C-alpha cells in the first residue's frame, strides 16, 4: 500500500474540540486488563522474508540539492533504463538499483504479480526474462517528475514513464535516491496497461436499424449468453471485471443470488455510509457525478451499482446460483446454474472467477448460555436497525477491535480548490506502486505520526476503556488490511459517542450468558436487550467451498495475506486450479486490479501470455 497522504480531518476532528478530551470525560479511567499479547501476531498471514530499511540521508551520506532539476535528473535515469532494457542487459539493469532496491512487476514482464527484493533477485529475474522481453520507447507521463521530501531525513526523485514490449503497452513508476555514486533506483513498479494487438474495442454505434428494439435485444442477449468467463458474484468486483471484459470483447456472465444488483450495499444497516470519501471509489468507465456526497450512503452506493450494470449493459442473472461445478483433467468447466429457481442452465465457460468478496461466512462465537438468553443475539450482518430496542433497558454495546487510524491515505485522490478531481489512472499508478518492504517502513513512520497527532483522542478513548494499538507490525492499518482485512476503524463518529458516554465500552470478553445477563470476563454482570457480535467472517475459501465444492476448494492455494516476496497470495493470480481466479478487494482495488485481470484473461485467450514467471 502507498504511504499515508494528507486528507481531510476525521469525523471526530470536525465535530469536537479534542483538546484535553481525557479531562472532559468526567469519569475515572477504566482499569484495563493486563495483556501484552498483540491482537494480531506479526506473522499472521504474512510470509514476507526481507528486512528493509529506508535509504535515509544519514545512511546515504548525501542530500539532494535544493536546486536539483527533477526533469533533468529523471531524464538521465530514463536514458540509462532505455539503453539497458532495449538490449536486454540484465546486469546493467540491476546496477541501476540500490543494493536493497526493489523491482515490482504486474504482467509486463512476468505475466504475474511479482516483487524482486534486492539486487541479486533483480539480476536473476532480469537474466531470465530479458531474452524474450525487451522494453523500448520510454516517454514521460504526468504528473511531471518531482523531488518528494516526505520526511526530514528522506527524499526521493519520483517519475512515471510509459514504455512498450513486444506484447504490451506499459507504465513504470520510479523512485530514485541520490547516492555518492549518483542516482540509484530504490523502487521500480512496471505494470501492463494495454495489450498491443488487442486494445479495447470502440463503443457500439447504437442506431436502431434492426427488427427488434434495444430493450428486447438486450433481454435476449442476457438470457442466451454463452460466456467465455463466468463471474460468480455481482458486487463491485464482479461488475468491474465484467465491464473490463466487455471492453476487450470477451463474452461474460455474472450470476448473483441476490434479488437485485446493489443488494450487498442496500441491505446493510440503515445508517451505514462508506467510511472513506468516495474520491477513489469510481468503478471503471462510470465516474460518480461531480456533486456526489463525500461519504456515500450505502443504499445510494447500491443504486449506483444498479446504474452501472444497466448503463454498461452487463449480462447479469440475479436470483441465480451454482448448483454444480465440475472440471475435467484438461481444465474445462461444466457449471450448472440454478437460474431464478425456475430452470437449470448448463454452461461451459473457459474461465471462472469467484468475485464473492473476501468474506466467507459470518463468524458467531459459541458462547455458553447463548440458547437460554432471552434477549436478542445477532451477527452484525443481520443488524439493520436498533429502532425496535429504543426505550428498553439500555443501548446495545458494541465490542470492537480498533486502531487509531483516521482516513488520511487517499488525499491525492481528492478534488482540488476548483472541485475538479485528479485523473484516477495517474493516482492509481502511484498508489499501487509501493512494494511491501518500503511501504512497511513508510507506514511505520506514518502510524507513529498519526498516533501522536491523535494522542488527545486516544487518551480520551482509553479513559473510557477502549484499548488501541499501532497495528500489525506497527504499520497502522496497512498490514492489517493486507492480512486480516480488518481490525481497524476509521472514525466516522463513534469515537465521539464513546468519549461522551453514549456508547459504553466494557474491556474483555463474554464468558457466558444467563437468561437475562451477559457475564463478562472477571465476573462482571451486565443486562442487555440486544447483543451484536461484530466478529467478522471466515476466509474466502469457505465461499469457494460452498459454491464450487470440496474437490475444487481443496486445491485452491491460501487466499489473501502476503507471500514471501510481498505480493498478495492467490488473489488476482493463479489459484492452484486451472482457469479459476479469485477477485476480491475494496473499491480502489476493484478499479485497478480489474484492468490487470481482464488483460490477463484476454491474453490467455489470444495466446499472448507466455505463462507466469515462476523462478
**Domains in the chain, ordered, with CATH?**
11-48+364-533 (no CATH), 57-195 (3.10.450.50), 221-360+538-606 (3.50.50.60)
φ/ψ (deg, to 5) at 143: -70, 160
- Condensed to tens digits (0 to 9), the pLDDT of residues 337-388 reads 999 999 999 999 999 999 997 766 777 888 999 999 999 888 877 755 444 4
Max distance between CA atoms of the chain, in angstroms, equals 78
- Positive or negative CA dihedral for 451, 452, 453, 457? positive
Residue 470 is predicted with a pLDDT of 85
Cβ within 8 Å of residue 84, ≥6 positions away: 92, 93, 96
Residue 18 is predicted with a pLDDT of 31
Average pLDDT for residues 41-66, to the nearest whole number?
96
- Positive or negative CA dihedral for 559, 563, 568, 573? negative
- Condensed to tens digits (0 to 9), the pLDDT of residues 209-245 reads 788 999 999 999 999 999 999 999 999 999 999 999 9
Residue 392 is predicted with a pLDDT of 39
Residue bearing cell 463478562: 520
Residue bearing cell 518492504: 437
| Predicted confidence (pLDDT) at residue 154 exceeds the cutoff of 70 | yes
Lowest mean pLDDT of 33-42, 130-139, 453-462, 575-584, name the range. Answer: 33-42
- Residue 208 vs residue 542, higher pLDDT: 542
Average pLDDT for residues 281-297, to the nearest whole number?
94
- Condensed to tens digits (0 to 9), the pLDDT of residues 3-36 reads 323 322 222 233 333 333 333 333 323 333 445 5
Average pLDDT for residues 76-88, to the nearest whole number?
97
Confidence band, pLDDT 50/70/90 cuts, at residue 254: very high
Cβ within 8 Å of residue 560, ≥6 positions away: 45, 358, 482, 483, 485, 539, 540, 568, 569, 570, 571, 584
3-state secondary structure of 428: helix
Cα–Cα distance measured from residue 96 to residue 84, given in angstroms and rounded to the nearest whole number: 9
Distance of CA 608 to CAs 366, 599, 604, 605, Å?
A: 51, 10, 6, 8
Confidence band, pLDDT 50/70/90 cuts, at residue 597: very high
Residue 258 is predicted with a pLDDT of 96
Cα–Cα distance measured from residue 113 to residue 499, given in angstroms and rounded to the nearest whole number: 44
- The alpha helices in 95-149, defined as continuous H runs, are 119-129
Cα–Cα distance measured from residue 352 to residue 335, given in angstroms and rounded to the nearest whole number: 9
Q: Is 417 exposed, middle or buried (0-12, 13-18, 19+ CB in 10 A)?
A: exposed
pTM as predicted: 0.89
Distance of CA 321 to CAs 227, 234, 326, 565, Å?
A: 15, 11, 15, 36
- Residue 173 vs residue 467, higher pLDDT: 173
Average pLDDT for residues 388-403, to the nearest whole number?
31
Query: What's the whole-number average pLDDT of the chain?
Result: 87
301 contacts 417 by C-beta, under 8 angstroms: no
171 contacts 163 by C-beta, under 8 angstroms: yes
Cα–Cα distance measured from residue 426 to residue 442, given in angstroms and rounded to the nearest whole number: 21
Q: Can you read off the three cell numbers belonging to residue 64?
A: 539532494
Cα–Cα distance measured from residue 82 to residue 397, given in angstroms and rounded to the nearest whole number: 60
394 contacts 527 by C-beta, under 8 angstroms: yes
Average pLDDT for residues 176-204, to the nearest whole number?
97
Quote the distance between the C-alpha of residue 380 and its chain's center: 22
Average pLDDT for residues 486-498, to the nearest whole number?
80
Average pLDDT for residues 193-209, to the nearest whole number?
92
Distance of CA 35 to CAs 38, 251, 473, 558, Å?
A: 8, 54, 17, 30
State the DSSP code for 433. Answer: T
Residue bearing cell 468447466: 333
| Predicted confidence (pLDDT) at residue 488 exceeds the cutoff of 90 | no
Cα–Cα distance measured from residue 39 to residue 471, given in angstroms and rounded to the nearest whole number: 9
| Predicted confidence (pLDDT) at residue 251 exceeds the cutoff of 90 | yes
Amino acid at each position: 500500500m502507498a504511504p499515508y497522504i494528507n486528507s481531510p480531518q476525521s469525523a471526530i476532528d470536525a465535530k469536537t474540540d479534542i483538546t484535553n478530551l481525557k479531562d472532559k470525560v468526567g469519569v475515572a479511567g477504566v482499569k484495563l486488563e493486563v495483556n501484552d499479547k498483540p491482537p494480531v501476531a506479526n506473522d499472521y498471514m504474512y510470509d514476507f522474508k526481507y528486512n528493509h530499511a529506508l535509504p535515509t540521508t544519514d545512511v546515504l551520506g548525501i542530500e539532494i540539492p535544493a536546486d536539483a532539476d527533477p526533469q533533468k535528473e529523471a531524464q538521465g535515469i530514463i536514458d540509462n533504463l532505455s539503453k539497458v532494457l532495449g538490449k536486454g542487459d540484465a546486469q546493467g539493469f540491476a546496477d541501476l538499483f540500490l543494493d536493497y532496491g526493489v523491482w515490482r512487476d504486474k504482467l509486463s514482464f512476468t505475466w504475474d504479480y511479482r516483487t524482486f527484493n534486492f539486487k541479486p533477485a533483480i539480476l536473476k529475474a532480469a537474466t531470465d526474462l530479458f531474452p524474450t522481453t525487451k522494453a523500448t520507447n520510454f516517454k514521460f507521463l504526468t504528473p511531471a517528475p518531482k523531488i518528494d521530501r516526505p520526511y526530514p531525513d528522506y527524499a526521493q526523485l519520483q517519475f512515471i514513464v510509459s514504455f512498450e514490449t513486444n506484447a504490451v503497452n506499459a507504465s513504470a513508476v520510479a523512485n530514485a535516491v541520490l547516492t555518492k555514486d549518483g542516482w540509484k533506483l530504490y523502487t521500480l513498479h512496471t505494470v501492463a496497461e494495454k495489450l498491443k494487438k488487442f486494445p479495447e474495442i470502440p463503443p457500439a454505434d447504437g442506431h436502431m436499424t434492426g427488427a427488434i428494439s434495444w430493450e428486447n435485444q438486450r433481454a435476449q442477449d442476457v438470457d442466451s449468453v454463452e460466456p467465455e468467463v463466468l463471474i460468480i458474484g455481482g458486487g463491485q468486483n464482479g461488475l468491474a471485471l465484467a465491464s473490463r471484459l466487455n471492453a476487450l470483447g470477451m463474452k461474460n456472465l455474472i450470476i448473483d443470488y441476490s434479488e437485485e444488483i446493489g443488494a450487498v450495499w442496500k441491505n446493510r444497516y440503515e445508517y451505514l455510509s462508506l467510511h472513506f470519501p468516495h474520491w477513489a471509489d469510481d468503478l471503471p468507465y462510470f465516474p460518480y457525478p461531480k456533486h456526489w456526497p463525500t461519504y456515500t450512503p450505502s443504499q445510494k452506493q447500491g443504486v449506483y451499482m444498479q446504474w452501472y450494470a444497466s448503463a454498461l449493459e452487463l449480462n447479469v442473472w440475479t436470483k441465480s446460483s451454482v448448483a454444480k461445478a465440475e472440471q475435467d483433467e484438461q481444465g474445462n468447466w461444466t457449471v450448472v446454474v440454478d437460474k431464478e429457481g425456475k430452470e437449470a442452465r448448463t454452461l461451459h465457460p473457459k474461465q471462472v472467477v469467484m468475485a464473492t468478496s473476501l468474506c466467507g461466512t459470518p463468524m458467531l462465537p459459541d458462547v455458553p448460555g447463548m440458547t437460554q438468553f432471552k434477549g436478542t443475539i445477532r451477527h452484525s450482518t443481520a443488524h439493520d436497525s436498533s429502532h425496535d430496542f429504543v426505550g428498553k433497558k439500555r443501548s446495545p454495546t458494541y465490542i470492537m477491535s480498533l486502531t487509531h487510524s483516521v482516513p488520511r491515505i487517499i488525499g491525492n485522490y481528492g478534488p482540488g480548490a476548483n472541485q475538479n478531481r485528479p485523473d484516477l489512472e495517474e493516482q492509481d499508478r502511484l498508489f499501487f506502486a509501493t512494494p511491501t518492504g518500503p511501504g512497511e517502513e513508510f507506514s511505520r513512520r506514518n502510524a507513529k505520526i498519526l498516533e501522536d497527532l491523535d494522542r488527545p483522542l486516544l487518551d480520551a478513548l482509553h479513559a473510557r476503556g477502549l484499548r488501541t494499538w499501532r497495528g500489525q507490525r506497527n504499520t497502522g492499518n496497512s498490514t492489517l488490511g493486507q492480512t486480516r482485512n480488518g481490525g481497524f476503524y476509521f472514525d466516522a463518529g463513534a469515537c465521539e459517542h464513546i468519549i461522551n458516554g453514549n456508547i459504553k465500552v466494557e474491556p474483555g470478553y463474554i464468558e457466558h450468558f444467563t437468561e437475562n445477563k451477559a457475564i463478562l470476563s472477571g465476573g462482571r454482570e451486565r443486562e442487555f436487550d440486544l447483543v451484536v457480535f461484530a466478529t467478522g467472517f471466515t476466509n474466502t475459501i469457505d465461499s469457494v467451498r460452498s459454491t464450487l465444492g470440496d474437490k475444487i476448494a481443496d486445491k485452491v492455494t491460501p487466499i489473501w495475506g502476503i507471500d514471501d516476496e510481498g505480493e498478495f497470495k492467490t488473489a488476482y493470480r493463479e489459484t492452484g486450479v486451472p482457469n479459476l481466479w479469485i477477485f476480491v478487494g475494496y473499491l480502489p482495488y476493484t478499479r485497478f486490479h480489474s484492468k490487470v485481470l481482464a488483460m490477463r484473461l484476454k491474453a490467455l485467450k489470444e495466446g499472448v501470455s507466455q505463462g507466469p514467471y515462476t523462478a
